[in-house]
Structures are given as structure tokens and as C-alpha cells.
Amino acid sequence: MNSNIKIRFRIVIYLLIMVLIVLVLRLYFLQIMSGQLYAEIASESITREKTVTAPRGNIYDRNGKLIVKSIPVTAVAVEPHIVSKNEDVMEALSECLDMPYEDIKEKVYQSNLSYIDRLILKIDIDAADMIYLKENSSDLPGVEVVDIYLREYDFGLLASHLLGYTGEIDKERLESEEYEEGYEGGDQIGWSGLEEAYESILKGEKGKIIYEVDPLERPVSIKEESAPICGNDLYLTINIDLQRAVEEILYQSILEVRQKKDSSTGQYYNVPGGAVVVLDPRSGQVLAMASYPTFDPGWFVGGISQTDWNYLNDPQNYDPLNNRAVMSFPPGSVFKIVTAYSGLVEEVITETSRFSCAGVWLGLGKDFPKYCWNKSGHGSLNIRGAFKNSCDIYFYQVGYGLFNKFNNMEELLQKYSRIFGFGKATGIDLPYEDGGLVPDREWKKDYFKDRPEYSIWFPGDTVNMAIGQGDLLVTPLQMAQAFSIIANHGIQFKPYLVKEIKDNQGEVIMENSMAQMQDLNLNQYYLDIIEDGLVQVVGPGGTAAYAFRNFPLDEIAVAGKTGTAEFVGKQDYAWFASYAPVGNPEYVIVAMLEEAGSGGSNVGPIIEKIYRYLFNLE
């Protein structure tokens, strides 16, 4: 062979060696340097995770009666990102589930667009469909038959505002931080009430199945499996029998009041809604909480129908979803307990101070006459008499006195309102609790910042607030809390609804104790004076005397206060707040009816009936 050829052979061999070295280096890079990374990606790309829904915890009343439970139903879930690419699967589903193809396509595409990982296509499928889907699962990638849990309500509409309702998680929540962990599309979550407030307690922990799939997304083998853990059970402070009685009384009373006419205008009372709160003042436990109009949480099970949803949102039905017990309204005269206490403590009045009521008071000047509800006047009254008759003129003057003390620099009436718990949420374990409003100089300045002429706090503002009018707003629950402070002689309890939480083994994992108790260090003597006044309200000649005319007050002494709050453009809001038995209070009851006229005559009977039920009187 000549040397030229030999050189060329050598070149070929060198080239071969070089290329082989390149191959080996590349392999070294792939397998040794990034082997770990590739192994992870590879393992990730073939493993899938599937969850097994955990049953939601049950809800019991204070006596262990089951109110809400979870029942398993079979549902069809799809993974939108897989199914949206496969029209055959959608067609098969349409045929099997008897749903229009277009509907399925629309739903799947919508969910895929919003990156929802799982979509529940149909709930409660029958056994034949379930078997069909399971048997053909290898031809239906991305389709899964799952067990989900739906709520069942043993007491129907009862306590629906407290319990709240559950429903499928929506896109916004799925993307929010709160629902980041442990949630996926199609999950049932609490949407309102206790279901929402105790979501993390009730939901339980999902089981997990980690499995491997082939390139067609067909499951091949299971790598890891963990069973779901049932949610914890709630034991409420509510007594479901009392709740039923209260709701029935509220409903009946509203129907009765709607038959009555406003004597001044001749119109029937509207009474769009009302609320009752029954509290145990010794602990802050809510024994019953009713709101009218109400709704059936069962409507939401498995997705609410359009008709039901329209009903709930129709303004003619006065927003049944709202829990009026934690919404704020003008309180009217019920608020006078705060005015009285402020006046006594700040020495604007004494136990024996007397003011004369002639039906009109010109303390703010002749151009600003302030009238008593009783235009003919009450004559000369002390504080007890002022309560008994709910004399506005008396309290105007107390308010005016409070305003004039320190030139209202300290906003005394607001200060005591806040001590009694107004102006901020009580912190009850319910979502969307209204804090109400205690108007003050700051608030007014801010509220009327576009109209400077209104932004000043006038003496008339304090005077109005003294009788629970003006911009003051309180919730029935706040009022109940304020009355339990009076009943307890200054001890405040935070109201609550969940007594204890038990895990699925029945072990108590959380007990709501009286740790939220607070001694407000109020003046006992002044509270006694107020209590005297409140007792006279239901006694002979008091504003609620008629409602309690047949009640055995000598056996069970009741303290109460009526309220009739004016509301611009609407009929009066009627209130009645009370507690009993005086001296050893067991119950605080507050009731409020919207647009129902006089608190004494229209709400008083509600309270009286509830006391009759509570004390087993006929």
C-alpha cells in the first residue's frame, strides 16, 4: 500500500476515535452529569397522582343530634387537559352519560382554558354507567369514576344560615392562596356559614394514589397509596329543638305582623325579614340563631338549579341567603341601655335626676325641635321611668349632656358604645359578620369628605345616637352580647357556635371553653339601676307590658327593652332585647323585625313565646 493511502486510513481511524469520544462525552453529560435530573423528570413524566376524596365531617347539635352528614355518591370526573384533545372520549361520554356532546365539549374546553385540573362532569351516575366506564377505562384516558361526598340535611331548612351550604370549588378559590393545598377542581367546599368557617376542620384529608401511566395515559401500576382521613365533626352550641321552635315562632310572628297596619300611614307592614338570637349569657354559647327569610341548603347539593338560584337572588324574596342575625340595622331605643350607663358613669345624670317630657324638646334650639315618640309627653321622669316608657326626651338630654361634657372631646357615648361591644364584630365563628357602625367625628369627616358642610359632628348627632338613631348600626348578635353584659353585670363573653370538635375516632380535639371571657369592670350599681328599668319595661305600664301581660313575671322575672327604629324611606325597624330570669340570667334573647313598626307590640310577643318554650310554660 502506498503511504498516501496509509495516511488516509490513519485519518479515518483518528476521526473514528474522535467521534466516539464525542459520543462518550455526550453520554457522560447525559447520564452522569445530568442523570439525576433526567431520572427525576422521567419519573415525574410517567407518574400520576390521583386523590381519593375524604368524607366531610358531620355536624351535630349540642345534644349530639345529627344535623348534617355526608353521603357518598358516584361521579364522573375528567381531566380537561387530556379529554379536550380527544373527541372520541367526549363522544363516548356523551353517549354513556346521556349528556349533549356540545355541553360536554363546552364544559371541558372552558375548564381546560382556566387550567382546572379536574372537572366533575356528572354526579350520581347509576351502577350500569359506572361499570361501563370502569370496564372501558383503558379506552377513556383522562376519565375517572370517583366517589365524592355530598351533604344531607336531616333537619331541612333549620339553621340553614348557621350551617351554610357546600358546593363545588370555583376557579377563583382554586387559584387563591387559602385553597392552595389539598384542593382540586370539583371538590366540595363550604361556601357559607359554619361550613365555610370550619372548612379546614370539616374537609378531612384526601387519600392519595400515586401510579404510573403509559404514553396513552393508561394506568399501569400503583406505586403508593394512602387512605383518606375523614373530616372532623362539629358539635354546636345550638339546640336544634329550640332552633326549630324559634324559627317557627319567628315565621308565625312575621306572618301575623304582616296582617297589621301602620296606624299613621294605613299601610300593611312589609316585614321583609327578621332575626332572633338566643344566647346563654353565662358562656356566650349561641343556643339558637334564626333569620328569616330562609333557604334550603339542600338546594345546593350537587349544584343548584337555575330556578332555585333565581329564587334566591330575586329581590322580591328579600335575600334569603343573608343571615340577618349578623347584619346591622338601626337599633332604636334598645340602645338606650348604653346611653343610660354612659350618663350615670359620667355623672350627666344620677339615679334620681328627673327630666320633664312634654313631647318635644328644644334643647338644640328652636329651629331643631326633637320629639318624643309619645307626642303628648311623659311628664317628669327619672331614669327608671325613662326606661319603662322609653322616653326619648329623657335620653336626648342625657345625650346632650354627654356631648357637652368636655365639649365632646372624648366622644363619651361612642366610648361606652364600644365598651358594650358595638362597632366591631363580636368574633363569632361565622363568616361575613357585620361589625355595625358606631358613628363618630372621624367617621363623619371621612364619610362626608366630598360635602364639607355635613362633615362636622353636631350635638344633634350625639342626641340622635342617644336613642339609637342617626347613623348607628348594630347587629342583633351585638345587641345580644350587650344585653348579656348587663345580665352578667359586666362580664363579657365572646359568642360562639361550635362547642367542640371531635375527630373521626370520637376524640375531642378542640373544646371551646370560656377563655374568651372578659370582665369589663362596669359599675355594678348603675347596672342594677338599668336592670330595674328594664324589668319595668315588661311590667305593668311598660312599653312591652301588653306582650307580657300573661307571662308569670313573678316567677320568672324578665328584663327587656323595646326598640322602634326609624329608617329613611322604610317602615320602622322593630326590636326587642331581653334576658331572664333576672338575678340569675340563663337566656338572652334579641329579636328584630325589619319594617314591622313597634318593637313592643310586634316583637315583644316573639320573645314572650320563646321564653314560654324555654321555661316550659303553657
Interface residues toward other proteins, by CB under 8 A: 1-2, 4-6, 8-9, 12-13, 16-17, 19-20, 22-24, 26-28, 30-32, 34-39, 41-43, 45-46, 212-215, 220
Least CB distance to other proteins at residue 47 (A): 10
Phi, psi of 612 (to 5 degrees): -60, -45
- The Cα–Cα gap between 81 and 501 comes to 39
How many CA atoms, within 13 angstroms, populate the side-chain half-sphere of residue 132? 11
Least CB distance to other proteins at residue 80 (A): 18
Q: Whose Cβ is closer to other proteins: residue 23's or residue 362's?
A: 23
Q: Whose Cβ is closer to other proteins: residue 131's or residue 220's?
A: 220
Least CB distance to other proteins at residue 17 (A): 8
Least CB distance to other proteins at residue 117 (A): 19
Q: Whose Cβ is closer to other proteins: residue 44's or residue 177's?
A: 44
- The Cα–Cα gap between 579 and 565 comes to 20
Least CB distance to other proteins at residue 24 (A): 6
Least CB distance to other proteins at residue 429 (A): 49
Q: Give kind and range of the element (H or E) at residue 86.
A: none
In 3D space, the residue among 247, 244, 467, 469 whose CA is nearest the CA of residue 336 turns out to be 467
Q: Which three cell numbers stand for residue 253?
A: 310572628
In 3D space, the residue among 30, 74, 81, 244 whose CA is nearest the CA of residue 156 turns out to be 244
Q: Which three cell numbers stand for residue 299?
A: 338546594
Q: Whose Cβ is closer to other proteins: residue 42's or residue 514's?
A: 42
Least CB distance to other proteins at residue 145 (A): 23
Q: Give kind and range of the element (H or E) at residue 412.
A: helix 412-419
Least CB distance to other proteins at residue 140 (A): 19
Q: Which three cell numbers stand for residue 129?
A: 354507567
Least CB distance to other proteins at residue 82 (A): 14
Q: What separation in angstroms does the CA of 393 have from each of 281, 379, 407, 515?
A: 31, 10, 21, 41
Least CB distance to other proteins at residue 43 (A): 7
Name the strands in the sheet holding 274-280, side by side, starting at the edge strand that comes first in the sequence: 285-292, 274-280, 587-593, 570-580, 559-567
Q: Give kind and range of the element (H or E) at residue 486.
A: helix 476-487
Q: Whose Cβ is closer to other proteins: residue 30's or residue 508's?
A: 30
- The Cα–Cα gap between 44 and 172 comes to 27
CB 271 within 8 A of CB 258: yes
What angle separates helix 87-97 from helix 101-113, to the nearest 10 degrees?
130
Q: Whose Cβ is closer to other proteins: residue 41's or residue 210's?
A: 41
Q: Give kind and range of the element (H or E) at residue 93.
A: helix 87-97
In 3D space, the residue among 581, 547, 549 whose CA is nearest the CA of residue 562 turns out to be 547
- The Cα–Cα gap between 564 and 560 comes to 14
Least CB distance to other proteins at residue 12 (A): 6
Q: Whose Cβ is closer to other proteins: residue 17's or residue 509's?
A: 17
Q: Which three cell numbers stand for residue 329?
A: 340595622
Least CB distance to other proteins at residue 51 (A): 22
Phi, psi of 308 (to 5 degrees): -65, -40
- The Cα–Cα gap between 445 and 441 comes to 6
CB 334 within 8 A of CB 599: yes
- The Cα–Cα gap between 430 and 530 comes to 31
3-state helix, strand, coil in the chain (%, to 5): 40, 20, 40
Q: Whose Cβ is closer to other proteins: residue 99's or residue 213's?
A: 213
Q: Whose Cβ is closer to other proteins: residue 63's or residue 138's?
A: 138
Q: Whose Cβ is closer to other proteins: residue 47's or residue 374's?
A: 47
Q: Which three cell numbers stand for residue 455?
A: 362633615
Q: Whose Cβ is closer to other proteins: residue 46's or residue 82's?
A: 46
Q: Whose Cβ is closer to other proteins: residue 1's or residue 568's?
A: 1
- The Cα–Cα gap between 133 and 120 comes to 14
- The Cα–Cα gap between 357 and 370 comes to 11
CB 92 within 8 A of CB 125: no
Instruction: Give the DSSP letter of residue 483.
Output: H
Q: Whose Cβ is closer to other proteins: residue 152's or residue 217's?
A: 217
Least CB distance to other proteins at residue 16 (A): 6
Q: CB neighbours of 10 closer than 8 A, spacing ≥ 6?
A: none
Instruction: Give the DSSP letter of residue 472.
Output: -
Least CB distance to other proteins at residue 40 (A): 8
Q: Whose Cβ is closer to other proteins: residue 35's or residue 379's?
A: 35
Least CB distance to other proteins at residue 272 (A): 59
Q: Whose Cβ is closer to other proteins: residue 7's or residue 508's?
A: 7
- The Cα–Cα gap between 308 and 295 comes to 10
